[in-house]
Amino acid sequence: MQGNTACAEGALAAGCRFFGGYPITPSTEIAEHMAAKLPKVGGVFIQMEDEIAGIASVIGASWTGARAMTATSGPGFSLMMENIGFAVMTETPCVLVNIQRGGPSTGQPTMSAQADMLQCRFGSHGDYSIIALSPASVQEMFELTVKAFNLAERFRVPAFLMADEIIGHMRERIEIPDSVPREERKPLTAGALPFRAGEDMIPGFPQFGKGYGVHVTGLTHDERGYPCATSPSLHEDLVKRLVAKVESARHDIADYRVANPDAEVVFITYGSPARTVEQVLHDNPDERIGHLRFRLVWPFSEKALEEFPDAKVFLVPEQNLGQMAREIERHTCIPVVPLPRFGGALHTPAELKKAVEAWR
């Protein structure tokens, strides 16, 4: 099965019943598969007039209680930024898939990249936090899409599947389970204020059409949901809660894989470069070469770095100029070496092997 198809199948298994989007290479197969399958399970597929409308329709659908998603790539992702901030501010669960291609601008529509990792974290205006997952196989396109839905529902945030074109268009054999884990968004207790959160910092969801009579606005709002855009303390408290509800859970929801924890030279990867590192480890059985692979990229769990107490250096091969390497640098005192390879060509095992030898 193709990676993009696996993503769509994962969404359907996770209970996604609304897809609003706009075709764009290299993500289009997801929309095509959803267009074919959603009507058969009582869901709705709608091709909107642009990506701005795509994410807008997804947010609208989510307020009716539907599990909703969109899929896109670089240029469309850029167009979605304002409404992503709206989803954050209104605490709307939704899933966005970005099959990354080469940028900036139209760039390389058919070639792989991982250059939107910081845009997904910081691209909309204002301070906020989101959840992002990065699959490294077709199986993970399925699994992590399911996971993205569950995390979006639990935390009431946009959750991103930040795949790259290689994983999206790769074909592999996968196993589809009979059922998948399913987390529901917590409903609002009758009579409670719609935007008052308890200790978990996540308010109950007042679904449209259920008689809550909730006003939902992108303006800074009080716990009733009413606009109140001029109080410094109210704004600060709201934004801090929106960030903290995600960031404080970063170790609980951390999802990564560790190989050779006693290693001195450690690769840190996510997405398709992980596969080249796995090849290096396969060809060179050497416990001194470690591998830390993030499946969940944002919020970044810096504790994962402690899995390698003897590490002397972190080597970070990415299909960009060193976006996640920059984040890793913030959390460690040992050298962090970006190994950029982009334009569509993957790192070769030989060049990664050479990078290891430079630190021996």
**Where does this chain bind another protein (CB under 8 A)?**
17-18, 20, 44, 46, 48-50, 52-54, 56-66, 68, 82-83, 86, 90, 206, 208-219, 226-227
Nearest by Cα to 7 from 179, 176, 184, 254:
176
> Strand 158-164 and strand 313-318: pairing?
unpaired
Q: Contact 356/315 with Cβ under 8 angstroms?
A: yes
Which residues, at least 6 apart from 287, have a Cβ–Cβ distance to it below 8 Å?
Answer: 260, 262, 263
Q: Which is nearer to another protein, 57 or 137 (CB)?
A: 57
Q: What minimum distance in Å lies between the beta carbon of 28 and another protein? A: 19
Nearest by Cα to 166 from 103, 104, 102:
102
Q: Which is nearer to another protein, 61 or 162 (CB)?
A: 61
Q: Which is nearer to another protein, 19 or 142 (CB)?
A: 19
Cβ burial of 177 (10 Å; 0-12, 13-18, 19+) is: exposed
Q: Which is nearer to another protein, 104 or 209 (CB)?
A: 209
Q: What minimum distance in Å lies between the beta carbon of 89 and another protein? A: 10
Q: What minimum distance in Å lies between the beta carbon of 17 and another protein? A: 8
| Collapsed DSSP state (helix, strand, coil) of residue 185 | coil
| Collapsed DSSP state (helix, strand, coil) of residue 355 | helix
Q: Which is nearer to another protein, 219 or 321 (CB)?
A: 219
Residue count of the chain, please give it.
360
Q: What minimum distance in Å lies between the beta carbon of 204 and another protein? A: 15
Nearest by Cα to 146 from 182, 176, 122, 172:
182
Which residues, at least 6 apart from 294, have a Cβ–Cβ distance to it below 8 Å?
Answer: 134, 255, 256, 268, 269, 270, 304, 324
Q: Which is nearer to another protein, 4 or 57 (CB)?
A: 57
Q: Contact 201/223 with Cβ under 8 angstroms?
A: no
Question: Would you call the peptide bond into 285 cis, given omega within 30 degrees of 0 as the criterion?
Answer: no
Q: What minimum distance in Å lies between the beta carbon of 236 and another protein? A: 21
Q: What minimum distance in Å lies between the beta carbon of 210 and another protein? A: 7
Q: What minimum distance in Å lies between the beta carbon of 209 and another protein? A: 5
Q: Which is nearer to another protein, 51 or 164 (CB)?
A: 51
